[in-house]
Amino acid sequence: MADDVRRWLDHPVESGTAAGFGLYLHVPFCSHRCGYCDFATHVADPADADAQMARYATALRRRLVRVLDGGRDGAGEHPWPTVTSVFVGGGTPTLLPPDELASILATVDDHADLADDVETTVEANPETVGPAMFTALVDAGATRVSMGAQSFAPHVLATLERGHTADRPVEAVAEARAAGIAQVSLDLIYGTPGETDDDFARSLEAALGAGVDHLSAYALSIHTNTPFGRRRARGELPDVDDDVAADRFDLARDRLAAADFEHYEVSNWARTPGTRSRHNVLYWRHGDYLAFGVGAHGHLDGRRWWNPRGVGTWLAAVEADEDPAAATEQLDLDERRLERLLLGLRLRDGLHPHDVPPLDPLALEDAMAHDLVETACGRVRATDRGWYLLDEAVRRLA
């Protein structure tokens, strides 16, 4: 295949191998599984929770050492690239004791080649953190905390089955700042049944008032395999109203723009370009990242793999020094082309001219005529309408 046809894949400027290299570590433990949650989580038996979490942390460190020291070939002859971002997600990583979580980050530091300005993010729930945890995270090298506030309306928090009070996220942000966490992000959910426009507007104001660097706002999704999904099927919970969700999205966009936040991705806003989530931008730039822990997904040069969602299954494999991956797939060129478009168009910046896979000129003209994409200085990016209809935009381009 001609070099110019594969340039987007082999010689990218911002995407693929040029996007950086990340590590994702999953800690599945939660004190309660919220009714809407579709992530790989595990509620530990209270009688044995400490032992379960200690065993999991030991296995996670063991897997980190084996993979990081082994490099690309498993024998240490071909080291991994320099790591530009580390993300500890969940579940609720901050349910682990501070010393266990710090030890996991220390293992990464000891066995990976970390960039001097590596971004290290830890997810948290407001009720599971405090000064001692934040201090431990700073000492262990964490630079960023992402907390799930979800709402500042008590009745919405009750519907979402959240375990914190409406004012706790603001307190937690202040504690993180006092401990020296460089960047703090809050997550919000909109469209919850029973939430009003005023509820969401006040949640936005409260989040802004907390002085965060970054905000994520997501429309509630109700999945069939969750308690919310089963309640919806029984007629006990109304479905999310798409028109209401669209109105809330517009409200977030307008209010955060007025507060000088940059709307850099469909669901994400940053106070400055430097406070974007570098790890998530790596995903949207179609970059490579290793995956550790229950349910974690990884990507490397067009190969995707994912670990089992069951804690017992994952632990058994790791403790036997076996690869815990539940499945793997190698994407062909057309699949990688579609993935590059679908991910890259989520970013307001879109795709650099050298990173755009070959497009049929008539297909590009068609997508532009339907106000789904636009071009500027050779970049291809989604319009505001295209962000709402991203699948349709990619379908027309492809």
Beta strands in 162-255 (DSSP E): 183-190, 214-219
| Identity of the residue numbered 201 | A
Cα separations (Å) of 340 from 76, 302, 331, 386, 393?
30, 10, 12, 16, 13
Each residue's pLDDT tens digit, 45-78 = 888 999 999 999 999 999 999 999 999 999 999 9
Distance CA 397, CA 310 (A): 38
Checking if the pLDDT of 245 tops 90, the result is yes
Which pLDDT does position 355 carry in this prediction? 97
As its CATH architecture, domain 3-284 has 2-Layer Sandwich (3.30)
The model's confidence at residue 1, banded by pLDDT at 50, 70 and 90, is very low
- Distance between CA atoms of residues 108 and 65, nearest Å: 8
pLDDT at res. 47: 86
Q: How far apart are the C-alpha atoms of 263 and 17, rounded to whole Å? A: 25
Statement: residue 2 has pLDDT above 60: no
Number of H helices, E strands in the chain: 15, 14
Of the pLDDT bands very low, low, confident and very high (cuts 50, 70, 90), residue 3 is: low
Q: What is the pLDDT of residue 5?
A: 75
* Mean pLDDT within 123-136: 96
Average pLDDT across the chain, whole number: 96
Q: What percent of the chain clears pLDDT 70, i.e. is strictly above it?
A: 99
State whether residue 253 is helix, strand or coil.
helix
Q: Which residue has the tokens 């262990």?
A: 140
Domain spans of the chain, in order of start: 3-284, 333-398
Residue 14 CA to residue 301 CA, distance in Å, equals 15
Per-residue model confidence (pLDDT) at position 45: 83
Mean local confidence (pLDDT), 327-339 = 96
What pLDDT does 44 receive? 82
Q: CA angle 291-296-301, nearest 5°?
A: 45
pLDDT at 330 (0 to 100): 97
Render pLDDT for 354-386 as a digit per residue (tens, 0 to 9): 999 999 999 999 999 999 999 998 899 999 999
Residue 114's H or E segment, with its range, is: strand 114-124
Residue 245 belongs to what H/E stretch? Answer: helix 242-258
At 296-326, the pLDDT tens digits run: 999 999 999 999 999 999 999 999 999 999 9
Cα–Cα distance measured from residue 100 to residue 90, given in angstroms and rounded to the nearest whole number = 15
The predicted structure's pLDDT at residue 29: 95
Return phi, psi of residue 187, to 5°: -100, 140
Tokens of 72: 């690309």
Rounded to the nearest 10 degrees, what angle do helices 3-10 and 333-344 cross at? 60
